[in-house]
Amino acid sequence: MVFDTTLIPLAAGRSGDDPIFSLNAEARKRAAAGESILNATIGALLEDDGGLAILPSVSDAVAKVDPRRAASYAPISGEPAFQQAVIDDTFGRSPLNKFSVAAATPGGTGAILHAITSFLEPGHSILVPEYYWGPYQTIAAHTARKVETFTMFDDEGRFNLEAFDAGLSKQLERQGRVLFISNFPCNNPTGYSLDDDEWEGLSEIIERNSKSGPVTFLLDLAYARFGAAGSERWVEHVERFAHCAQLLVAWTASKAFAQYGARVGALIAVHPNPSERERLKAAMGFACRGTWSNCNHQAMVAITELLLDPEKRRRATGEREVLKRLLRERVDAFNQAASGTSLRYPRYEGGFFVSVFTPDAEKTAARMRELGVYVVPLQGAVRIALCSTQASEVPRLVAALEEGLKAAGGEA
């Protein structure tokens, strides 16, 4: 018997393919057929030989977890030691530490899902800059929410505080609440990190607007550990508004511990009032039970040890420093090769990606594919994964970008 699927109409028209994964598959197929391919689509840090960069200390810790403990269910919101370890890792000695509660989530993705479903009504929109991680939109659509953007950069190429202020206050007036997702330091896809002046401006805007209604600020820390020196000062800036706006942090081991598949993450919520913290904790626990129930226990135990045991922590930090240096080399190589060309891109000081502006991203990316170079087309820019491009390949990448821009009628 043949019958039509019983998918509801909203779900029936959905694309199951992430466009980045499709491009990556095409690049791999051509490479396997013997072509010389430069695949700058992959969002994971690769060694120069193309293998996934990992931290051996993490693999050791995962392997040493007692098998019965690994096989058992983790508590719904994660082990208390894990919760406190990620709070300490995020806030250190900041006064925000003691005002924080956390729940384990599968990576930052799970934390973002909880933030969207627990802090925004169905039908409402999240607020993000125009360059944002695509799955924010997927998660919003999947949970009957939407996305609203504001112009990310001003005429001088700096974070557009004016547009942020206007977007935030308009949304607050219309929706009666705001959930702003901020993916700094090391924004995906632009690589942009806010400097101290920009953080100060942003914090002032949040503090001021929170007087007109409930503002939630979610900091998606995905790539933060790979930021330039000084980028960790975001903590001091958010202290300014944590008394009046709901501060949330999406913490993840995916990039910081190069443990993408383990799905270890957490949502941290900060509130000065103990009874509000209890409500936050309960809401997060409920959301965990209502989605994935509980997270990967083995990796949670291992990451907790790496965060708490001074010797293991030192080893992991040292190994991460090696990876940071590898990425730093590529960032420097890109800035060097692009200087003197007409490529336009935001200030890039660290992080897995950078984006180059183009009047027609599809044309630019298509021309680059003809040259065997794969990047991800976005609205108004192409995203380049330096995390998966060795420094010696950067001149080829930049030359292809110039060709791609020409094909799009851009300046190069």
Ligand X SMILES: Cc1ncc(COP(=O)(O)O)c(C=O)c1O
Report the site for ligand X in 36-95 (rule: CB under 6 A): 43
Residue from 24, 160, 183, 209 touching ligand X (CB under 6 A): that is 183
What is the rounded CA–CA span in Å between residue 181 and residue 12? 28
Report the site for ligand X in 108-167 (rule: CB under 6 A): 108-109, 133
Stretch that binds ligand X, among 61-69, 107-115, 312-320, 390-398 (CB under 6 A): 107-115
CA 276, 138, 189, 32 torsion-angle sign: positive
Stretch that binds ligand X, among 16-24, 61-69, 104-112, 225-233 (CB under 6 A): 104-112
Which of residues 129 and 410 has its CB atom nearest to ligand X in the complex? 129
Which of residues 77 and 183 has its CB atom nearest to ligand X in the complex? 183
CB of 222 to ligand X, least distance (A): 4
**Is 259 an interacting residue with respect to ligand X (CB under 6 A)?**
no
CB of 402 to ligand X, least distance (A): 27
Interface mask toward ligand X for 224-253; x: CB under 6 A: ----------------------------x-
Interface mask toward ligand X for 261-300; x: CB under 6 A: ----x-----------------------------------
What is the rounded CA–CA span in Å between residue 306 and residue 120? 34
In this structure, how many other beta carbons lie within 10 angstroms of the beta carbon of residue 130?
A: 16
Q: How far is CA 52 from CA 111, 331, 387, 388, in A?
A: 25, 18, 10, 9
Residue from 24, 193, 209, 254 touching ligand X (CB under 6 A): that is 254
Which of residues 171 and 296 has its CB atom nearest to ligand X in the complex? 296
| Beta bridge partner(s), residue 148 | 127
Which of residues 119 and 133 has its CB atom nearest to ligand X in the complex? 133
Classify residue 375 as left (phi > 0), alpha (psi -120 to 50) or beta.
beta
# of chain residues touching ligand X (CB under 6 A): 13
Spatial CA neighbour of 303 closest among 266, 248, 352, 270:
266
What is the rounded CA–CA span in Å between residue 311 and residue 149? 44
CB of 325 to ligand X, least distance (A): 21
In this structure, how many other beta carbons lie within 10 angstroms of the beta carbon of residue 163?
A: 17
Report the site for ligand X in 306-335 (rule: CB under 6 A): none
Stretch that binds ligand X, among 87-95, 101-109, 149-157, 318-326 (CB under 6 A): 101-109
Q: How far is CA 122 from CA 128, 142, 143, 247, 387, in A?
A: 17, 10, 7, 20, 36
Give the DSSP H or E segment for 335.
Answer: helix 310-338
- Residue 51 tokens, joined: 């293998």
Q: Give Cα 127 distance to the centre of its chain.
A: 15
Stretch that binds ligand X, among 52-60, 103-111, 309-317, 404-412 (CB under 6 A): 103-111
Give the DSSP H or E segment for 405.
Answer: helix 394-407
Which of residues 135 and 213 has its CB atom nearest to ligand X in the complex? 135
- Amino acid at the residue 232: E
Which of residues 327 and 398 has its CB atom nearest to ligand X in the complex? 327
Residue from 30, 157, 260, 285 touching ligand X (CB under 6 A): that is 260
Give the DSSP H or E segment for 118.
Answer: helix 107-119
Backbone angles phi, psi at 394, to 5 degrees: -60, -40
Which residues would be at the binding site for ligand X (CB under 6 A)?
A: 43, 107-109, 133, 183, 188, 220, 222, 252, 254, 260, 265
